[in-house]
Amino acid sequence: MPSGLQISRRGLLIGSAAATGVMVRGLAVSQADQTKDERVPVIDCHAHLFHPSRADHLEMDRRLIEAADKLGIDRLCCSILTPKRPATVEGFRECNRALVAAIERYPDRILGYSYVNPGFSREAVQEIRRCVLDHGFIGVKLYNEHVCTDPIVAPVIEAAIELRVPILHHAGRIHHPFPQQPNISDGGDLAELGQRYPEARLICAHIGGGGDWEWTIKALRHARNVYLDTSGSVTDEGMIELAARTVGVDRLLFGCDMSMTAGVGKMVSADLSAEEKRKILGENMLQLLAMRS
C-alpha cells in the first residue's frame, strides 16, 4: 500500500464509528424534516452510568458520551445501579444522587431513571417523587430485587402512574435454573403486570440481553402498554424484525445497555423501512417522555 494511504487499525475503527454515527442519525431524519434541517433525536432508552465507588467513574462516563457521539446517539436514558444487590435504601439514594450530578455535567445528553428497590416501599416511593419532581427524572428503573408481579412492587407502579413516567424493568426468559437472579421477571410477568395496571407504561428491558428472545417477544404480543427495548449484546439475525412483526414498531424502543456498537448495528442492518426505524430510534421514546406534559 502506498505510504500516503496507510491507516492504523485505531484510525479505521474511529472512521467506521463516525460513519455509523452519520448513518444512524440519518435514519432518524424524516422526509419533511430534511427541508427544515431538523430531525428526530436518536434516544438510547436503556443506558447506565458508573457507580461513584469506582475511582475512574467520571472518565468512564466521559467515554460513554464520547461513544454516543461517534455512533450518532443524541440522548441517553440512564440509571446507576448499586454494585451489590439487593440495594439498600442508602444504596439507591446514593446512586440517584450521583445521577443528578452526572446530569448536571451533561445536561443536554443524559436523562435519568430513578433506581429503587421496591422492597422498601415507603422510601422507594419517596425517592421516585424526589427524583422526578425535584430533578426532572424521566422514569423509574427496577432491577431483579423482586418479580414485578409481587404485591410489594405495587406502590412503585402506582407512583409511576401518578407521576406519568415509564418504568424500565430488567427482564429475561431463561429455560434453566438461574440462581444468580432468582427473582428475575420475564415477558409473561410484565404482560400480567400491564394487564393489572393498564394506565402504566412499562418497558421490558433488553430483548437482546440473553435468554429466549423469541419467547419474550411472543409473550408480550397482546400487552399493549408494555414496550420492548432492543438493547443487549445479542445480535441474532431476525430479532428486530420478529419484534416489529409481532408487537408492532410503535412498541419498540432503541437501546444499547452499554453494548453500543451492537445496539446501533442491529438498527442499521434491520430489514425495516426508514419510517419504522425512525419510530424505534426516537419517535416512540419521545411519546413516552411527553406523558409528563
**pLDDT tens across 45-62, in order?**
999 999 999 999 999 999
Give the confidence band of 24 by pLDDT, cuts at 50, 70, 90: confident
pTM of the prediction? 0.90
Can you state the angle between helices 260-269 and 239-247, rounded to 10 degrees? Answer: 60
In DSSP terms, which residues pair with 77 in a beta bridge? 111
**Cα–Cα dist 143/85, whole Å:** 9
How many Cα atoms occupy the beta-carbon half-sphere of 49 within 13 Å?
33
Give the confidence band of 165 by pLDDT, cuts at 50, 70, 90: very high
Closest-CA residue to 41 (of 287, 280, 282): 282
Which comes out higher in pLDDT, residue 22 or 225?
A: 225
Residue pair 109/75 in contact (Cβ under 8 Å)? The answer is yes
Hey, is 203 helix, strand or coil? strand
> Domain with 24 in it: what CATH number?
3.20.20.140
In the prediction, which pLDDT does 19 show? 53
In the prediction, which pLDDT does 37 show? 47
pLDDT digits (tens, 9 = 90+) for 123-163: 999 999 999 999 999 999 999 999 999 999 999 999 999 99
CA 43 to chain centre: 9
Work out how many domains the chain is built from and give that number.
Answer: 1
**Cα–Cα dist 79/87, whole Å:** 14
**Percent over 90 (pLDDT), the chain:** 84
Please give the residue range of the domain that contains residue 236. 3-292
Statement: residue 7 has pLDDT above 80: no
Q: What is the mean pLDDT of the chain?
A: 91
**Cα–Cα dist 87/81, whole Å:** 8
pLDDT digits (tens, 9 = 90+) for 94-120: 999 999 999 999 999 999 999 999 999
CA 184 to chain centre: 17
In the prediction, which pLDDT does 2 show? 35
Rg (CA), the chain: 19
**Cα–Cα dist 199/164, whole Å:** 9
